[in-house]
Amino acid sequence: MTALETFIAGLPKAELHMHLEGSLEPELMFAIARRNKVDIPFKTVEAARAAYDFSNLQDFLDIYYRSTDVLRTEADFHDLTAAYLARVAADGARHVEVFFDPQTHTARGVEFSTVADGMLSALKSAQQTGLTSKLILCFLRHLSEEAAFETLRQAEPYLDRIAAVGLDSSEMGHPPSKFARVFAAARERGLRLVAHAGEEGPPAYVWEALDVLHVDRLDHGNRSLEDAALAERLVRDQMTLTVCPLSNLKLCVVKDMAAHPLKKMLALGLRATVNSDDPAYFGGYLNDNYRAAAAGVGLTRDEVVQLAKNSFLGSFLDGPSILRHLKDIDAYTAKFS
């Protein structure tokens, strides 16, 4: 390991953009398929991994949604979540804010409560080991706003344990404004708001996420750099961008890691963070993303520290908790010098 890689390994950090369904490793997919006696679209673990070769977001989503079909019981959702939490804790994560896609499961006849109870029990267990977390309910943007409203209704008994709503799935042709009313309803219920925008979609979708949905945080946001006025606005608002380097590489948002905009984002004063998105599919967990980005664009140690600080500054933790984590980062960095 290089000195910077060793530094990254123990650096306290938060993860703000990770889809729990996207952490389903092929080994666990096979184990769950066996116990549920359901078929899976792959013959072997190796065949599954070999199929994870995508040329765009939709290629990935087609496989991602099919793979979730093995998840049926509360124990399945618990085990999925627990496996991710153990893995990210080993990467020095102190706090995570994770997405889930209830509509993917309710459409298959799995109850909202089965999904949420399994995930929440694993999050609660991890809390006892010092890893704090928040849960974010994502609406699937390729479905209707009415379907999103129905999902928000199903979530009603859980709203004290859900921190925010988000917007994911196929971006092109499904602009944020399609969900203006359901996001306003979520805000009225006290939820925070995030949305994927500017991953494949144009800067206009990022403007809509800001000015129509009024998001508290923006997921991806890469294409904001194509519009100088938009980038300026994001800097002025200190809007957090949850950037996902290995995802961007695997989904061909960037042609190679050297071409990734992360370093430029930091230079512009954008509050960028590093995240894994769908680690089972994109070749790595949180530290893999820090390491790949650091090597690809040549991050300095100060830039890595800024990214880790941004991950807490952009979280939905309260002020005193954020300050405590920032102090932990400073103490860790001082010890390393």
Q: Which of the stretches 101-109, 276-284, 298-306, 317-325 binds Zn ion when contact is defined by CB under 5 A?
A: 276-284
Within 162-201, the residues that bind Zn ion by CB under 5 A are none
- Using DSSP's 3-state secondary structure scheme, residue 291 falls into helix
Q: How far is the CB of 81 from ligand HPA (least distance, A)?
A: 15
**Known active-site residue 199:** yes
Q: How far is the CB of 188 from ligand HPA (least distance, A)?
A: 25
Distance from C-alpha of 176 to C-alpha of 195, rounded to nearest angstrom: 8
Round to the nearest angstrom and report the end-to-end CA distance of the chain.
Answer: 17
Contact in structure between 328 and 94 (CB atoms under 8 Å) = yes
Question: Between residues 196 and 271, which has the closer beta carbon with respect to ligand HPA?
Answer: 196
Q: Does 22 bind ligand HPA (CB under 6 A)?
A: yes
Dig out the tokens for 75 from the structure.
């124990």
| DSSP-assigned states of every residue in 33-56 | HHHHT---S-SSHHHHHHH---SS
Which of 15, 74, 277, 303 lies at the binding interface for ligand HPA (CB under 6 A)?
A: 277
Q: Cβ-count burial of 183 within 10 angstroms (0-12 exposed, 13-18 middle, 19+ buried)? A: buried
Site string for ligand HPA, 239-258 (x = CB under 6 A): --------x-----------
| Partner in contact with 315, chosen from Zn ion, ligand HPA, none, beta carbon below 5 to 8 Å by kind | none
Q: Does 277 bind Zn ion (CB under 5 A)?
A: yes
Cβ neighbours, 10 Å, residue 110: 20
Distance from C-alpha of 193 to C-alpha of 269, rounded to nearest angstrom: 22
Q: Does 201 bind ligand HPA (CB under 6 A)?
A: no
* The pairing of beta strand 217-220 with beta strand 192-197: parallel
Q: Does 276 bind ligand HPA (CB under 6 A)?
A: no
| Catalytic-labelled residue, pool 21, 199, 200, 303 | 199
Contact in structure between 30 and 45 (CB atoms under 8 Å) = yes
Q: Does 168 bind ligand HPA (CB under 6 A)?
A: yes
Question: Between residues 171 and 277, which has the closer beta carbon with respect to Zn ion?
Answer: 277
* Active site members: 199
Residues near Zn ion (CB under 5 A) are 277
